[in-house]
Amino acid sequence: MSSSVDNPFFARVWMYLSRHETDAIQRLRRENLAGLTGRVLEVGAGTGTNFAFYPPTVTEVVAVEPEQRLAAMAHQAAAEAPVPVTVSGDAVEDFALSLGGAPFDAVVCSMVLCSVEDPNSVVRQLHSLLRPGGELRYLEHVASGGLRAGLQKAADATLWPRLLGNCHTHRHTEQIISGAGFAVSGARREWTMPAWVPLPVAEFAIGRAVKS
C-alpha cells in the first residue's frame, strides 16, 4: 500500500522554522551527523536542512521526503550540498518496500519519528535496511516526564498532530529504537530551550544505535 503525505499548512510552517533555527538545534544536527561514512539513508528530509552538515566521508545520501512542497526545497538543498544527495518523493514505508533491503552504512532520522504513522514498524524497517554494524543516528524530540508529559499528551490528543504534519510529542522513541533490536550507544537527552518554556517539543534525545 502506498502512503502519501500532503500537509500544505505544515509545509509552510516548516519552511519558516527551518530558516530560523537556533544555534542549539544546528549544533545538535552537526553532532548527529559527525563521523558518518559511506552510504546514508535520510528519512523525511524536510527542506534538506541536514544536507549542509554531512561530513566529506559520506559518499552518498539517499533522502526520502514525501511532502512535495518540502521535497522541492530539499532538491534545491541537495544541489548545494557538500556530498552527493539524491531526493526521492517516497514515504519511508514505501521506500523500504521498494528497495528490498539493500544495505546502508547509516540511517539518519531527525525530528521525523514523531510524525510517521507507526514508529515501531518504521524503525524495524530501518533496521532491515542497514548492513550489520550499520548505525541509526537520531535527533528526536521525545516524551518528557512530570508536568510536561501531561502537556504533551494533551497536545497529542488535540490540534498538534493535525496542524503539524502528524507530529506526536509524547513518543518513547528511545524505547522504540531499542525494541527494534538496536544496541543504543552514546545517547543523551538535551533541552533545546529553557525548561520553563511551555512547549511540548523542548526535550530532545540524540544518539547512535548500532545494528548488531
Ligand X SMILES: C[S@@+](CC[C@H](N)C(=O)[O-])C[C@H]1O[C@@H](n2cnc3c(N)ncnc32)[C@H](O)[C@@H]1O
| 25 lines the binding site for ligand X (CB under 6 A) | no
Nearest to 74 by CA among 87, 58, 93: 87
Please report, as residue ranges, which positions from 158 to 177 form the binding site for ligand X (by CB under 6 A): 165
Q: Which is nearer to ligand X, 66 or 134 (CB)?
A: 66
Q: Which is nearer to ligand X, 68 or 178 (CB)?
A: 68
Q: Are 161 and 189 in contact (CB under 8 A)?
A: no
CB of 51 to ligand X, least distance (A): 10
Q: Which is nearer to ligand X, 168 or 196 (CB)?
A: 168
Q: Which is nearer to ligand X, 141 or 211 (CB)?
A: 141
Out of 14, 51, 54, 104, the residue judged to bind ligand X by CB under 6 A: 14
What is each CA distance from 108 to 8, 10, 199, in whole angstroms? 24, 21, 25
Please report, as residue ranges, which positions from 105 to 134 form the binding site for ligand X (by CB under 6 A): 110-112, 115-116
Instruction: At 73, list the grid cell.
Output: 526545497
Out of 33, 36, 53, 66, the residue judged to bind ligand X by CB under 6 A: 66
Helix, strand and coil content of the chain, in percent to the nearest 5, comes to 40, 25, 35
Nearest to 129 by CA among 103, 108, 92, 97: 103
- Burial of residue 41 (CB within 10 Å: 0-12, 13-18, 19+) is buried
| 49 lines the binding site for ligand X (CB under 6 A) | yes
Out of 36, 50, 61, 89, the residue judged to bind ligand X by CB under 6 A: 50
Please list, in sequence order, all residues whose beta carbon lies within 8 angstroms of the beta carbon of residue 89, skipping any fewer than 6 positions away.
64, 65, 66, 68, 71
Q: Which is nearer to ligand X, 62 or 212 (CB)?
A: 62
| 88 lines the binding site for ligand X (CB under 6 A) | no
In the three-class reduction of DSSP (H, G, I as helix; E, B as strand; rest coil), residue 45 is classed as coil
CB of 158 to ligand X, least distance (A): 18
Nearest to 109 by CA among 205, 183, 37: 205
Residues 28-47: x/- map of binding to ligand X (CB under 6 A)? ---------------xxxx-
Residue ranges in contact with ligand X by CB under 6 A: 3, 5, 14, 18, 43-46, 49-50, 64-67, 70, 91-93, 110-112, 115-116, 165
